[in-house]
Amino acid sequence: MTTTATTLKGQPLDRQTLDAMLRRRLFFTPAFEIYGGVAGLFDYGPPGCSLQANIVDLWRKHFILEEDMLEIDTTVLTPHEVLKTSGHVDKFADWMCKDPKNGDILRADHFVEDVLESRLKGNKEARGEKVEEEDDPKKKKKRKTKTEAVKLDDNVVQEYEEVLAKIDNYNGEELGELIKKYDLKNPATGVQPSPPVAFNLMFQTSIGPSSNLAGYLRPETAQGQFLNFAKLLDFNMQQMPFASASIGRSYRNEISPRAGLLRVREFLMAEIEHFVDPEGGKKHHRFPEVDAIELTLLDRHTQLAGKTDVKKMTIGDAVRNKVVDNETLGYFLARIHLFLQKIGVDMSKVRFRQHMENEMAHYAADCWDAELLTSSGWIECVGCADRSAYDLSVHAKKTGAPLVVRERLDEPLIFEEWQVEIDKKKFGPQFKKDGKTVEAALEATTQEQREKLAKQLIDNGELELEVAGVGSGTVKVSKDLVKIEFRKRVENTREYTPNVIEPSFGIGRILYSLIEHVYWNRATEDGGDEARGVLSFPPMVAPTKVLIVPLSANKQFQPFINKISQKLRKIGISARVDSSSATIGKRYSRNDELGTPLGITIDFQTVQDSTITLRDRDSTKQVRADEDTIIAAIQSLVTGAREWKDVAAELPAFEGQEVDVTVR
Amino acid sequence: MTTTATTLKGQPLDRQTLDAMLRRRLFFTPAFEIYGGVAGLFDYGPPGCSLQANIVDLWRKHFILEEDMLEIDTTVLTPHEVLKTSGHVDKFADWMCKDPKNGDILRADHFVEDVLESRLKGNKEARGEKVEEEDDPKKKKKRKTKTEAVKLDDNVVQEYEEVLAKIDNYNGEELGELIKKYDLKNPATGVQPSPPVAFNLMFQTSIGPSSNLAGYLRPETAQGQFLNFAKLLDFNMQQMPFASASIGRSYRNEISPRAGLLRVREFLMAEIEHFVDPEGGKKHHRFPEVDAIELTLLDRHTQLAGKTDVKKMTIGDAVRNKVVDNETLGYFLARIHLFLQKIGVDMSKVRFRQHMENEMAHYAADCWDAELLTSSGWIECVGCADRSAYDLSVHAKKTGAPLVVRERLDEPLIFEEWQVEIDKKKFGPQFKKDGKTVEAALEATTQEQREKLAKQLIDNGELELEVAGVGSGTVKVSKDLVKIEFRKRVENTREYTPNVIEPSFGIGRILYSLIEHVYWNRATEDGGDEARGVLSFPPMVAPTKVLIVPLSANKQFQPFINKISQKLRKIGISARVDSSSATIGKRYSRNDELGTPLGITIDFQTVQDSTITLRDRDSTKQVRADEDTIIAAIQSLVTGAREWKDVAAELPAFEGQEVDVTVR
C-alpha cells in the first residue's frame, strides 16, 4: 500500500502536473463546471471520448467476438420490484456517519481509514522517521486535518495496520465499534461522528405521469441480462454454456466522491454474465489455453491475517490448488489479465485481490478484483464474481418465470423410492381445516420415515404421525386415506438453474489507471527545467493515431495534407492536421500530451519528390519514404502487426525538423 | 397521412406478423417482461444491439469523421439549475388531461386526434365509403372504442381534417377549447376529460446523500455540449465554425407511451451542435457539394393551410428561395438525406417537414424534421433545428462564463459616439442609497439623450434626468460629477455568441423505421401459404454479415467451419455458424428473418476441393468458388465496394442446396 507512484519510466509521478495536463488537453473535465460542478460527475472531451471508444472496441473484440457472446442493450431505468428482488433495495448501501456539530456526511470506512492513517503518519514523524507524502496516496489531496506528531506504542501501530489491511471487511456495526474504541474524531470539528447508518447508493426516480411507479437508475447492467435469460437461451438454441454481455452506463449515488475519475456517480460498465452448469466443477473448455498464464494474487487468508503480500502463480496452479475456486472463474481471470496487457496497462502494477467474506456483495459466492496501482493506491478496476444461482433463483421465485435450463438426458435417470399417495377426496372431509397441514407433513417425510410408516399401515391399518399444531400433536391416518409404496420413478430431463460467473469492468477506472501507467516526462532537449509530458498509449488505443504537420502555412502543402488525410480516413485511421503557426517541435509536443503515436511531416522535399517523414512518439526517431510506403507502415503499426523497431529497421532514417524551426 | 403501409416489395405490411418476427428473433423485447413490463422501456437483443451499433458506427463515420467534429461524452445526470436556465424545467412539457371518472391520464393532443379520426372514420362508414384500417395507422392498435357510424356534414369533415393537419400547432389552452367545442369524450368512460395541464417530461432525482441537490435525467445531449463550449473552442484552437457531437442516452417521461420503439422513455440520441457565426448569412463552405441534392419538403405554410402536400426541390433552390433559411441548415438537411439513404431507408418514404410556430421547441428559431413513413404514420426521426444563440446566451447570462468567440479584426472598428464618464467617488456621497440607481439611469441613456444632456451640462452646469423611484422622479447632476463628451472608440476584436445548428437523431426510431422499410415477404417455394419474412438490410448495417452452414453435422466439416470463421473474424466481419439439425432451407430462412445478407455452405464437395458456396439473401442465388475468392467477394460486398450483381457476374453460379435437403 505504500508504494510511491511512478511514471512509465520510473520517475516520481506528480499527480497535479498530470491532472493539469489532462484538463488542458480535455481528456476529461468536471461536468457543469461553469455552474460550479457536481461532485462525482465528469465529461469526456474529444481525446477521452476517443480513448474510451477504443478501449470499448478492443474489449468487444477480446471478449464478445472472440467467444460469440450475446451482446444486449438494456434500460437504465429499473422498476423498484426488480431491485427489491435482487436485494439491491435492502443491501446495496454504504455506511455513512454524520458529524453532529457541522452536519458533515462521512463515509464510515473512509473516515476510519483516514484517521488511522493520519495517526500512523504522526507516529512516524514523532519517531523522526522519513514520511513520504505518497505513503498514504489515497488521502494525499483530501485530508482535512494536519497530521499531529504523536508517538504510538508498537502494539498500537501493529493493531492499526491490521485494521487497515482488512478495512473492507467490516460491517457498519464493527466500523461503529472501531470509531468508539479508537475515539476517532472528525478532523474538521474535533467531534466523534454518529454511529454508521446504511445509505442506499441507488438514484431514485418515478416513472410515468401519475408518479406511482417507483424506479431506480440501475447500479449494474447485470439485472437486465438476468431478466432476459430465458429469451437468450432460446436465441442460443438452448445451447449451454453461453455468455451474454452489456456495455452501458450505471449509477451509484456515492456518499462523498473524490479521486477524480476513480469514484464517480455515473460510469460506463462492461459486464459479462457467463451462464454455466453448476455440476461438474464449472470446467471451461478453453482453460488449457490459459493454464500457463502467471497472475499476481492476493488471497483472502493473507488479508485476514493483516497482510498484503502477493503470490505469483499460474492460473492452472491456482485452480488446482483451490486458491481460485474453479476453471471458469480462473479462465476469466486470465482473460482479464490478457485484456489489460493488450490495452497497455503496466502489468507490474496489477494484482488480483480476493474479496473477504464480509466484503463480498450480497449475491457473490466468490469474487476477485483486478486492482491497478495508481497514485490513489490500489484501485479495483475489474471485478470477477461467482454469483452462483442467486439472481436467476430469486427472480424466478418472485415472478414464476422458469429461468432454468432443461436438458434432455441421454440415459433416463431411474429412482427407486418410497412414494406417498394421498386420497385427497377423503382427506378433506376427515381432517377438515387441518387437511392441508397433515398432507404437507406427510409429503415432508424422509425416505426412512416413509419405510416405517408403510410398515405401520400394513401392520396396523393406520399410521401415526407427529403434526405440530393439530389436535394433540399426533395424528392417525388410516390406509384408505393414504398409500405408501416402494416404486420406480423415471426422469428424462434434467432441470437446473445455471450459475453465473461475472467479469465486470469499470471502463472509466481502467481508462484513468491506464493514463497513469503510460504517462512519463521527457526532458527538454535544451536541458531546460520544463518537463514535457508524454502519454505512451499503444497505437491501438491511442485517441488519434496520426498527427499531420505541414512545415509551415505555405499553400503548396495543402494538396498533400488533403490527399494523406483522405487516404488515412479511407482505411479507418484517425488523423488530425495541425497547421497552426507554432513550431514543429511545439506541435509534436502538444500531441505527445495527447498520446498520438505517429506524426507525418510535410516539407519542401515533399513538394519535390512526394516523400514524407514518419515520427515515432516514444523515441522521437523519424523515417522518410514515399507516401504509400509510409501509410502502409502506419497501418501495420496501428493494427499491431508490427512495432516501431521493425519499421525503423526497414525504412531510411531521417534527421531534422524535431528542432524548433521557425515558421517561414 | 392515409397511405397504406407497405413492405419493400409493395406488399401490404402486416404489423402484427412483423412484430411477432422481431420478437421471435430478439431484435428487441419489452424490458422487465417477466415482471409485467414497463410501458416505454425496451431491451435490444443481440441482432437489435448489433444493428444499432452498425447504424451508430456509420453515423460516426458519415458525420463526425467526415467533418472532424469534436465528439464528447457527457453525463446524463444534470442538476436542476442547468435545466432551469435552459428553459426545460418550465417549458419541456406535454399537455395532459385526466378523466374525472376513472382517473385515466390522456395526452391531450393524442386524445383530440384519436376522437376526431374516429369520427371521420364513422362518417365514412355511414356514407358507405370504403374504410381501410390503415386509414388511420397511428391509432390502429390502441383505440379503445368502437367507431360509431355517424354521418357528418361536409363542412364538419373539412374542419376536422384541418384541425388534424395542424394538430402539432395547438397549445394547451387551444387543445382545451377543441375538447369543449367538439365535445370530445374519453371513449373508455363517455366522459369529457379535465382541461389540459402541463406535465413536465423530465425524470427527477436527487444527487448526493443529503438529498438536497435536485437533478434530472437529461432530455437531450445538447446541454452538455453547450456547457463545454468554451473548452471545445479552446481545444479547436479558436477556429470557427466547428461542431461538437455526442452519442448517448436521453430520457423523457412520456405520458402514455405506445407504438413500440417509436415512443419510448429511454432512448439513444446522436446530436450535433454546429457553432456558426450569425453574421454573413450562415454560409457553409461545403454547400456546393450538396446543392443539387433533391429533397422532399413539407413547409410550414402548407401545413398551416391545412394541407400536407409535399414539394420536391433541390436543397440549393430551397435555400435560394428561402424555403430553408440558410446554407448551414440546408447543408445538414442534405447530409441527413444522404445518411438515411446510406443505411438503407426507402427514400420514397422520407419527407422533411418544417415545424409550425407553436410547435417549435422553446429554443428553436427554425426547425425541420426528417420524417419516415411507417405503419404508425409519418414519424419524426431526425430533427434539424436552428437554435440561434439561445442556449449559449442563457447559460452565459446565468453563470457569467464567457460563452463567446473573440475574433481579432483585420481592420479595427472605429466608433464616434457620446460617452458618459461618472466620477464614482463623488457620486456615492452625493446620492447615498440612490447612487447606483442614478448611475444606471445615466448609463442607460441613448445617444440622442446624451447629446441633449451634454448641452445641458455646458449651458446650465448641471443636467436633469428622470429617474423613477428617486426623490420626486427627477434628479439633478452637476458637471463635477459627470462628463458627457463626443469621443472616438477603437475596437480591435469582435466578440459574438455563435448560433447553433443542431441535427438531432433518434437512433431507435430510425432503427425501427428502417426495419419496416427493408421488410418483405418471400412466397414459399412450394407455393404454400406461409409467408417467409426477409429483412433486406444493406450489408453494411446488417447485424450479422455471414451465416456459415455446414450441410450436416458430419465431423469432416468442422475444420472448414473453424478456418472460415477465423478468417472472417480477422478481417472484422461478423459471422455466425448454424450447425443445428434443421434443413439448410430452414436455417437460411431463419437468417433471412435476421437480415443476414450472405450465406456460406460447406458441403462434401468442400471436403474434396475446398470450394464453398456463397448465397445472396435477396435473390437466393448462389455462386461457388474457392475459399479465398469467396472471402474477398464477401469483403467487397460488406464494405459496399461491390454489389451482388457484380459478384454474380464474375463467379460461377451454383444450383442446389436451397431445396430442403434432409440432414444425412
Q: How far apart are CA B375 and CA B15, in angstroms?
A: 7
Provide the β-strand partners of residue A506.
Answer: A269
- Chain A residues inside the 8 Å CB shell of B232: 26, 45-46
**pLDDT score for B501:** 97
Report helix, strand or coil for B14. Answer: coil
**pLDDT score for A334:** 98
Region of A128 on the Ramachandran plot (φ > 0 left; ψ -120 to 50 alpha; else beta)? left
Residue B266: closest CA among chain A residues belongs to which residue?
Answer: A75
DSSP string, A254-281: -SS--SGGGS-SEEEEEEEEEEE-STTT
B88 with B363: CB under 8 angstroms? Answer: no
User: Shortest Cα distance from B577 to chain A (angstroms)?
Assistant: 10
A250 with A219: CB under 8 angstroms? Answer: yes
Determine, for residues A253 and B199 on separate chains, whether the beta-carbon distance falls below 8 Å: no
Using 50, 70 and 90 to split pLDDT, how confident is the model at B137?
very low
Determine, for residues A73 and B49 on separate chains, whether the beta-carbon distance falls below 8 Å: yes
User: Shortest Cα distance from A316 to chain B (angstroms)?
Assistant: 26
**pLDDT score for B103:** 84
Q: How much is the mean pLDDT over chain B? A: 90
Determine, for residues B32 and A76 on separate chains, whether the beta-carbon distance falls below 8 Å: no
Determine, for residues B576 and A68 on separate chains, whether the beta-carbon distance falls below 8 Å: yes
**pLDDT score for A530:** 60
**pLDDT score for A527:** 54
Report the Cα A636 to chain-centroid distance in Å: 31
User: Shortest Cα distance from B129 to chain A (angstroms)?
Assistant: 39
User: Shortest Cα distance from A608 to chain B (angstroms)?
Assistant: 29
Residue A639's contacts (CB-CB under 8 Å, 6 or more residues apart) are: A540
Determine, for residues B395 and A249 on separate chains, whether the beta-carbon distance falls below 8 Å: no
User: Shortest Cα distance from A67 to chain B (angstroms)?
Assistant: 11
Q: Does A208 touch chain B (CB under 8 A)?
A: yes
pLDDT digits (tens, 9 = 90+) for A546-591: 999 999 888 999 999 999 999 999 888 999 999 888 888 899 999 9
Among residues B614, B609, B613, B616, the alpha carbon closest in space to that of B595 is found at: B616
In the predicted model, residues of chain A with pLDDT beneath 70 are: 1-3, 131-146, 211, 259, 524-531, 657-664
Q: Does B576 touch chain A (CB under 8 A)?
A: yes
Q: Which amino acid is at A329?
A: L
Among residues B336, B317, B319, the alpha carbon closest in space to that of B384 is found at: B336
The hierarchical CATH code for the domain B410-492 is 3.30.720.200
- Chain A residues inside the 8 Å CB shell of B580: 237
Residue B237: closest CA among chain A residues belongs to which residue?
Answer: A580
Percent of chain B with pLDDT over 70: 94
Mean pLDDT of B524-537: 74
Task: Kindly provide the residue ranges of all beta strands, DSSP E only, lying in B277-376, ordered along the sequence.
Answer: 294-298, 311-314, 350-354, 366-374
Determine, for residues B74 and A29 on separate chains, whether the beta-carbon distance falls below 8 Å: no
User: Shortest Cα distance from A587 to chain B (angstroms)?
Assistant: 12
Using 50, 70 and 90 to split pLDDT, how confident is the model at B146?
low
Determine, for residues B33 and A210 on separate chains, whether the beta-carbon distance falls below 8 Å: no
Count of CB contacts below 8 A, A vs B?
A: 186
Pairing outcome for strands B350-354 and B311-314: unpaired
**pLDDT score for A525:** 56
Provide the β-strand partners of residue A601.
Answer: A549, A613
Lowest mean pLDDT among A226-240, B143-157, B228-242: B143-157
Q: Does B42 touch chain A (CB under 8 A)?
A: yes
Q: Does B249 touch chain A (CB under 8 A)?
A: yes
Q: Does A253 touch chain B (CB under 8 A)?
A: yes
Mean pLDDT of B161-165: 88
**pLDDT score for A146:** 61
Q: In angstroms, what CA-CA distances link B122 with B115, B129, B383? A: 10, 10, 34
User: Shortest Cα distance from B238 to chain A (angstroms)?
Assistant: 11
Q: Which grid coordinates belong to B334?
A: 442534405
Report helix, strand or coil for A295. Answer: strand
Q: How far apart are CA B293 and CA B522, in angstroms?
A: 34
Determine, for residues B228 and A45 on separate chains, whether the beta-carbon distance falls below 8 Å: yes
Residue A436's contacts (CB-CB under 8 Å, 6 or more residues apart) are: none
For the ranges A237-241, B70-74, B110-114, B187-191, the maximum mean pLDDT occurs at B70-74
Task: Count CA within 13 A, CB hemisphere, residue A431.
Answer: 25
- Chain A residues inside the 8 Å CB shell of B110: none
pLDDT digits (tens, 9 = 90+) for B364-414: 778 999 999 999 999 999 999 999 999 999 999 999 999 999 998 888 988
The helix or strand, by DSSP H or E, that contains position B98, with its residue range, turns out to be strand B93-98
- Checking if the pLDDT of B577 tops 90, the result is yes
Q: Does A56 touch chain B (CB under 8 A)?
A: no
Determine, for residues A395 and B34 on separate chains, whether the beta-carbon distance falls below 8 Å: yes
- Chain A residues inside the 8 Å CB shell of B49: 71-73
Mean pLDDT of B641-662: 79
The helix or strand, by DSSP H or E, that contains position B110, with its residue range, turns out to be helix B108-126
Pick the CATH number of A93-200 from 3.30.40.230, 3.40.50.150, 3.40.50.2300, 3.40.50.720: 3.30.40.230
Q: Does B57 touch chain A (CB under 8 A)?
A: no
Provide the β-strand partners of residue B503.
Answer: B384
- Chain A residues inside the 8 Å CB shell of B249: 76, 249
Determine, for residues B77 and A204 on separate chains, whether the beta-carbon distance falls below 8 Å: no
Residue A430's contacts (CB-CB under 8 Å, 6 or more residues apart) are: A481
Among residues B400, B348, B426, the alpha carbon closest in space to that of B7 is found at: B348
Region of B465 on the Ramachandran plot (φ > 0 left; ψ -120 to 50 alpha; else beta)? beta
A107 with A95: CB under 8 angstroms? Answer: yes
Q: Does B44 touch chain A (CB under 8 A)?
A: yes
Residue A68: closest CA among chain B residues belongs to which residue?
Answer: B576
Question: What backbone torsions phi and psi does residue B134 show, to the nearest 5 degrees?
Answer: -75, -5
Percent of chain B with pLDDT over 90: 67
Using N-to-C axis directions, what is the helix angle for B46-59 and B507-518, rounded to 10°? Answer: 110
Same fold, A93-200 and A544-650: no
Indicate the pTM of the whole model. 0.86
- Chain A residues inside the 8 Å CB shell of B230: 34
- Chain B residues inside the 8 Å CB shell of A232: 26, 45
Count of Cβ atoms closer than 10 Å to residue B619 Cβ = 10
- Chain B residues inside the 8 Å CB shell of A209: 96, 105, 199, 253, 255-256
pLDDT digits (tens, 9 = 90+) for B48-87: 999 999 999 999 999 999 889 999 999 999 999 999 999 9
- Chain B residues inside the 8 Å CB shell of A25: 235
Determine, for residues A232 and B205 on separate chains, whether the beta-carbon distance falls below 8 Å: no
Most distant pair of Cα atoms in chain B: their distance: 115
**pLDDT score for A551:** 92
**pLDDT score for B300:** 92
Q: Does A68 touch chain B (CB under 8 A)?
A: yes
Q: How far apart are CA B385 and CA B503, in angstroms?
A: 6
A540 with A341: CB under 8 angstroms? Answer: no
Residue A317's contacts (CB-CB under 8 Å, 6 or more residues apart) are: A323
Among residues A228, A111, A92, A234, the alpha carbon closest in space to that of A163 is found at: A111
A498 with A389: CB under 8 angstroms? Answer: yes
- Checking if the pLDDT of B167 tops 90, the result is no
The helix or strand, by DSSP H or E, that contains position B406, with its residue range, turns out to be strand B405-422
Q: Strand order of the sheet with strand A93-98? A: A105-107, A93-98, A197-200
Determine, for residues B33 and A227 on separate chains, whether the beta-carbon distance falls below 8 Å: yes
Q: Does A203 touch chain B (CB under 8 A)?
A: yes
Pairing outcome for strands B311-314 and B294-298: antiparallel
Mean pLDDT of B28-49: 96
ipTM of the complex: 0.85
Q: Is CATH 3.40.50.800 what the domain over B544-650 is classified as, yes or no?
A: yes
B296 with B352: CB under 8 angstroms? Answer: yes
Q: How far apart are CA B248 and CA A215, in angstroms?
A: 21
Task: Kindly provide the residue ranges of all beta strands, DSSP E only, lying in B448-607, ordered along the sequence.
Answer: 462-466, 474-478, 482-496, 499-506, 519-522, 532-535, 546-550, 575-577, 598-602
Q: In angstroms, what CA-CA distances link B244 with B58, B171, B274? A: 17, 33, 6
Closest CB to A34 among B207, B395, B576:
B395
The helix or strand, by DSSP H or E, that contains position A626, with its residue range, turns out to be strand A622-626
Using N-to-C axis directions, what is the helix angle for A507-518 and A15-24, rounded to 10°? Answer: 110
Residue B81: closest CA among chain A residues belongs to which residue?
Answer: A35
- Chain B residues inside the 8 Å CB shell of A71: 46, 49-50
Q: Does A92 touch chain B (CB under 8 A)?
A: no
Q: Which of A24, A25, A34 would you mutate first to test chain B, the one with the most B CBs within 10 A?
A: A34
- Secondary structure of A407-458 as H, E, C letters: EEEEEEEEEEEEEEEECHHHHHHHHHHHHHHHHHHHHCCCHHHHHHHHHHHH
The helix or strand, by DSSP H or E, that contains position B567, with its residue range, turns out to be helix B558-570
Report the Cα A13 to chain-centroid distance in Å: 24
Question: What backbone torsions phi and psi does residue B90 show, to the nearest 5 degrees?
Answer: -90, -30
**pLDDT score for B660:** 43
Residue A85: closest CA among chain B residues belongs to which residue?
Answer: B35
Report helix, strand or coil for B279. Answer: coil
Cβ-count burial A36-58 (b if 16+ within 10 Å, e if not) = eebbbbbbbbbbbbbbbbbbbeb
Q: Kindly report the length of chain B.
A: 664
A507 with A267: CB under 8 angstroms? Answer: yes
- Checking if the pLDDT of B192 tops 80, the result is yes
**pLDDT score for B138:** 41
- Checking if the pLDDT of B145 tops 70, the result is no
Pairing outcome for strands A546-550 and A575-577: parallel
Q: How far apart are CA B564 and CA B583, in angstroms?
A: 21
Closest CB to B72 among A44, A78, A105:
A44
Verify cis geometry, omega within 30 degrees of 0, for the bond prior to B559. no
Q: Is CATH 3.30.930.10 what the domain over B15-75+218-391+500-507 is classified as, yes or no?
A: yes
Residue A543: closest CA among chain B residues belongs to which residue?
Answer: B71
- Checking if the pLDDT of B664 tops 50, the result is no
A71 with B49: CB under 8 angstroms? Answer: yes
Q: Does B203 touch chain A (CB under 8 A)?
A: yes
Q: How far apart are CA A250 and CA A97, in angstroms?
A: 25
A597 with A539: CB under 8 angstroms? Answer: yes
Pairing outcome for strands A70-71 and A42-44: unpaired
pLDDT digits (tens, 9 = 90+) for B320-329: 999 999 999 9
**pLDDT score for B657:** 52
Using 50, 70 and 90 to split pLDDT, how confident is the model at B415?
confident
Q: How far apart are CA A97 and CA A179, in angstroms?
A: 10
Give domain limits for chain A: 15-75+218-391+500-507, 93-200, 410-492, 544-650
Q: In angstroms, what CA-CA distances link A598 with A399, A588, B85? A: 56, 9, 43
